[in-house]
Structure 1
Amino acid sequence: MNYQFLRQLLEYAETFERDVPATDEQTVDKFAAWLLNQRKPPAPEPQRAGEAAASDTLISIMVSYLYRYTRLYSKKVIDDSPLTTLDDFTYLIILLKAEHSPTKTELIELNIHEKTTGTEVLRRLLASGLIEQFDDPADRRSKRLKLTDQGRSVMLSLMPRMSQVATLVGGTLTADEKQQLVHLLSKLHQFHNPIFLQERHESLDHLLDHILKK
């Protein structure tokens, strides 16, 4: 029997009783949580330049993999619908949830697309009768978009199945892990979105020099 371990455990138990004098609070669960707090792991050492570069590369690869998995699963739903691609669905879901009718440019930028790609998606959705365009009351040169009744009906029928796709993409991550991943991905989105909106035509050297070094 490891008596050294038992002595150490008893010392922790005595300290726990002093820190938590209320008898009804002295439970195994409370002790475990308290002990975990006492035994915090040491802070990780800063990554060396080579290790950081390897991590950045892996992030890029894994994010691209995750998108491909999502596209694969989504295709099983979209193939039985009037939609053609996952992009069609993301454009329509924004219109479904939007508080106002966005312009073509706004909708394209919300989907992180270049104008030519976004215009092709919109052309397809307009031709299929899932969305309609109308003049912007404040600027007749601009067009705003909204779902048609058909488009809304299609989206409402697809959403339960696409929700199942989202569950599959989340895999076996715990609720806490999913929240952490959402936080990290949101942080990356907040970093990259201003670049996409304002500086995407700049050179890679410019972005590295003037963005990453801020």
Structure 2
Amino acid sequence: MKSYPLIHQLITLVEELEVEQSGKEISLQQFTGFLLNKASSAPNGTNSEVRFGNNDEKTLEIAFQLDNNIGRLFVFMSRYAKLYIKKALEDTPLLTAEDFTALAILMTHDQLSKTELINHNLQEKTSGTEVIRRLISAGLVKQWDDTKDKRSKHIAITENGRELLYNVFKDMNNVGKMITGKLSLAEKFTLQYLLQKLEDFHLDHYERKTISSKSDLKNFIEESLHA
């Protein structure tokens, strides 16, 4: 039984809590609080990551620190999502997830400047410009000069773009369901709440351009720890 070491560990923790409670009967709520406290204060020494070996304990210790582990899982989730989105976009002019999100953003606006769309799509100028170029070339987006500033271009979705997007939405719904896996409805609401909280935090920093260098990142973390 692969989980026997974990079961043994849980029994040991129950015994520890019983001693702490002078032998009194323990409720599930009490044990849950006790367990969370233990989990938050103890280093994560378990290598449950199938990609990692066991040759360097220091590397594993760093990788499985709580914040690092969450960050790594976010990266993996992003890559899984891109794989599913790529499948959903097969046989369409849309090549990447960024193509799809750019078109979806344009669907909700009468028009935008190129810079506005690139910022909304959380892209760098070079890659964002390439996405817009592809969409225009495919006839999904149209562009025109700003009447007040000839250097600026405005863009909007075309009817062909709208029609394509409505068709793609059907497959993208499947992507959303695949990404959330076998989470229960309650788990999905909890995850949505936590992700939205993180989105609000990061979007604020993105829009204010507070993190533009490695030193900015270091300074922000140090200030947060001392706040």
TM-score norm. by structure 1 comes to: 0.72
Residues 123 and 200 of structure 1, relative CA distance in 2, 3 Å threshold = farther
Match of 1:42 in 2: 33
What amino acid sits opposite 1:123 in the alignment? R
Residues 166 and 111 of structure 1, relative CA distance in 2, 3 Å threshold = same
Task: Determine if contact 2:140/2:157 at 8 Å carries over to the other structure.
Answer: yes
Secondary structure of 2:179's counterpart equals helix
Q: Give the root-mean-square deviation of aligned CA atoms.
A: 2.8
Q: What percent identity do the matched residue pairs reach?
A: 37
What amino acid sits opposite 2:37 in the alignment? E
Match of 2:199 in 1: 189
Task: Name which of 64, 68, 76 aligns with 2:79.
Answer: 68
Q: Tell me how far apart the structure 1 counterparts of residues 98 and 218 of structure 2 sit (CA, whole Å).
A: 29
Task: Name which of 80, 85, 101 aligns with 2:96.
Answer: 85
What amino acid sits opposite 2:136 in the alignment? L
Match of 2:176 in 1: 166
Match of 1:58 in 2: 69
Instruction: Spell out the pairing of 1:5-24 with structure 2 (5 A cutoff).
Output: none
What amino acid sits opposite 1:81 in the alignment? T
Q: Tell me how far apart the structure 1 counterparts of residues 166 and 140 of structure 2 sit (CA, whole Å).
A: 12
Asked if 1:205 corresponds to 2:215, the answer is yes
Deviation per CA, 1:133-186, whole angstroms, max 9, x where unpaired? 123456554222211111111111111111111111111111111111111112
Deviates more, 1:164-173 or 1:138-147: 138-147
Deviation per CA, 1:59-86, whole angstroms, max 9, x where unpaired? 1111111111111112222121111112
Task: Determine if contact 2:118/2:124 at 8 Å carries over to the other structure.
Answer: yes
Deviation at 1:200, TM superposition (A): 5.8
Aligned length in residues: 178
Residues 203 and 101 of structure 1, relative CA distance in 2, 3 Å threshold = same
The answer for unaligned runs of 5 or more in structure 1 is 1-34
Q: Tell me how far apart the structure 1 counterparts of residues 154 and 42 of structure 2 sit (CA, whole Å).
A: 47
Deviates more, 1:187-196 or 1:102-111: 187-196
Secondary structure of 1:42's counterpart equals helix
More relative contact order, 1 or 2 (CA 8 Å, 6+ apart):
1
Deviation per CA, 1:38-61, whole angstroms, max 9, x where unpaired? 86943743945966x711111111
Secondary structure of 2:107's counterpart equals helix
The answer for unaligned runs of 5 or more in structure 2 is 1-26, 45-61
Secondary structure of 1:172's counterpart equals coil
Q: Tell me how far apart the structure 2 counterparts of residues 78 and 204 of structure 1 sit (CA, whole Å).
A: 35
Residues 166 and 201 of structure 1, relative CA distance in 2, 3 Å threshold = same
Match of 2:156 in 1: 146
Match of 1:110 in 2: 120
TM-score norm. by structure 2 comes to: 0.68
Greater gyration radius: 1
What amino acid sits opposite 2:85 in the alignment? S
Secondary structure of 1:177's counterpart equals helix
Q: Tell me how far apart the structure 1 counterparts of residues 121 and 222 of structure 2 sit (CA, whole Å).
A: 24
